[in-house]
Structure 1
Amino acid sequence: MDVKKSVEAVILDWAGTVVDFGSWAPTSIFVEAFKQAYDFDVSLAEARVPMGLGKWDHIKTLGALPEVSKRWQCRFGRSMSDADVDDIYRTFMPLQKAKVAEFSDPVPGALETIALLRREGIKIGSCSGYPREVMDILMPAAAEKGYSPDAVIASDDLQAGARPGPWMALQNVIELGIHAVNHCVKVDDSAPGISEGLNAGMWTVGLALSGNEAGMTLEEYLSASSGYKAEKRALATDKLVTAGAHYVVDTIADLPDVISDINTRLIRGEKP
């Protein structure tokens, strides 16, 4: 494959994209961390809103959601402070580390898609909203089940920061030795992950049904009616397209056709 006219690398998110169908590991732990640290309730739906951000930023953003902030002020008589965020994050981290390996199963079709991309000469990068100490647990668990990307960047690896900035995606470019950023594809199930790819100058692909926006378990997805999936797909697609995704598909299993289309557009001289 001509590197000058084809995709060189795919940069994949982790939870909800390649592993952990529905992105349940971080979501459920945010709810538990708020409860343990302050005996304060947030819903799973609220916990999903900032998904894709680094976990400290996620907690801060979650606490600033209008309904959450209103309840917090009624309970404590003040807005959530950075010190409160620190407390919740300190509670969150051991809970997440204890549970993350349980959510390391590959999304159906992920391993087959990645194998196909590698046969095409495409490198596999990755980045995550998880910090390095969580990734150090998740990576070997995923490797045992067949997934080992060529590069892994965690949310706290870089001094510049994490999503929605471009830095983690661009660090993949450096570590993988990619020649052209516009020959990279960022794949994610969250709006901040799409923004990350756009800010890095990459093509972006949103995943509507395997990740955070749809919020289904694998069992729910497999048993869902076509009508229910259509409703979930429409809601998730709207959010991902609004974030700027060039493409939106159901799961990573649908990625090969997208890569083929991007290759055609690259041959025509198009850029993201």
Structure 2
Amino acid sequence: MIYNYARRYTGPIDTVVFDWAGTIVDFGSFAPTQVLVDAFAGFGIGITLAEARGPMGLAKWDHIHALGQVPAIAARWRAKYGRDMGRGDVDAVYEAFMPLQVAKVGQYSAPIPGALEAVAALRVRGIRIGSCSGYPRVVMNELIKIAAESGYTPDCVIATDDLKPGGRPGPWMALACMIETGSRDVAACVKVDDTVPGIEEGLAAGMWTVGLSASGNEAGLSWDEWTALSPEAQAARCRPAEDKLRRAGSHYVIRTVAELPAVIAEIEARLARGERP
């Protein structure tokens, strides 16, 4: 069999794979972070929102495990329990976290301003909408219902525990979206995310990637907090997030998904010139 390695996909984007919290819903990505703070508090361990945000994008068990390895949090755990946080402890925090997350996910899951309009603009162009998340399926089932009531119904939803290989930063959820939507080429797919593991996921899948610097985990502000800032303060708040997402390899960094349609047009122009992700 002879393979044509010179072949280049030069057609349009046919699939965009969105993250959920901080990307399409929950402007400041508070649903996962605040509930993690609450879950650790149930074990007598205080963690801050900033600490909870550190490993964002990972599957939630992995996220809790990563928090337990943070030196300051590990020290608090040892002071409380006289030992390091082990896998059984991670299991216990995760089991406490899950019902809290299911119960509270709706409190923080309003659509990000401009997100529904951006998705509608993509659909007009014939682009299919994939989605994946660090949330497990039991949380996603609740979030899917809430999002549908607001008008967001992606073509596929992949939860972090749907696939045996695992979640981010591996490529599996993004590639599963590609399969579900029937995309013709990884170069015809764009992964949009507010976290470094989410960008790494898209890159590992061979897709174009777009990072978000104002909405989501890196800036960590509510919509009201964001809009209360001056343009200069907004730029200063976004700058560390922009730098972090670019260092992770993101092809583009924009503030919110409201800006995405223009980026899609630019990517399609690059594809027409024979460029690849």
Which residues of 2 match residues 136-215 of structure 1 at below 5 A?
A: 136-215=141-220
1:246 to 238, 244, 251: 251
Distance in structure 1 (CA, Å) of the matches to 2:122 and 2:267: 13
Matched residue count: 269
Which residues of 2 match residues 121-136 of structure 1 at below 5 A?
A: 121-136=126-141
1:18 to 24, 29, 33: 24
Give how far 1:72 is off: 2.0
Which residues of 2 match residues 29-68 of structure 1 at below 5 A?
A: 29-36=35-42, 38-68=43-73
Distance in structure 2 (CA, Å) of the matches to 1:5 and 1:266: 7
Matched, 1:267 2:267: no
Aligned AA for 2:252?
Y
Aligned AA for 2:192?
V
Could you tell me which residue of structure 1 aligns to residue 81 of structure 2?
76
SS in 2 for 1:186: strand
Could you tell me which residue of structure 1 aligns to residue 226 of structure 2?
221
Give how far 1:69 is off: 1.6
- CA deviation profile, 1:88-145 (whole Å, cap 9, x unmatched): 0000000000011122211000010000000001100000000000011000111000
Runs (4+) off by over 6 Å: none
CA RMSD after TM alignment: 1.0
Distance in structure 2 (CA, Å) of the matches to 1:69 and 1:183: 43
1:115 to 117, 120, 145: 120
CA contact (8 A) 2:131 2:154 kept: yes
- CA deviation profile, 1:224-245 (whole Å, cap 9, x unmatched): 1112211111011111111111
2:100 to 85, 92, 95: 95
- CA deviation profile, 1:141-170 (whole Å, cap 9, x unmatched): 110001000010001000111000000000
- CA deviation profile, 1:181-229 (whole Å, cap 9, x unmatched): 1110000000000000000000000000010000000100111111221
Distance in structure 2 (CA, Å) of the matches to 1:65 and 1:121: 44
Distance in structure 1 (CA, Å) of the matches to 2:44 and 2:38: 9
SS in 1 for 2:21: coil
- CA deviation profile, 1:246-269 (whole Å, cap 9, x unmatched): 100000001011101100000011
SS in 2 for 1:152: strand
Q: What TM-score, normalized by structure 1, do the two folds share?
A: 0.97
Identity among equivalent positions (%) equals: 57
Give how far 1:4 is off: 4.7
Distance in structure 2 (CA, Å) of the matches to 1:230 and 1:91: 38
Could you tell me which residue of structure 2 aligns to residue 235 of structure 1?
240
Could you tell me which residue of structure 1 aligns to residue 6 of structure 2?
none
Give how far 1:5 is off: 1.4
Give how far 1:75 is off: 2.9
Unaligned runs of 5+ in 1: none
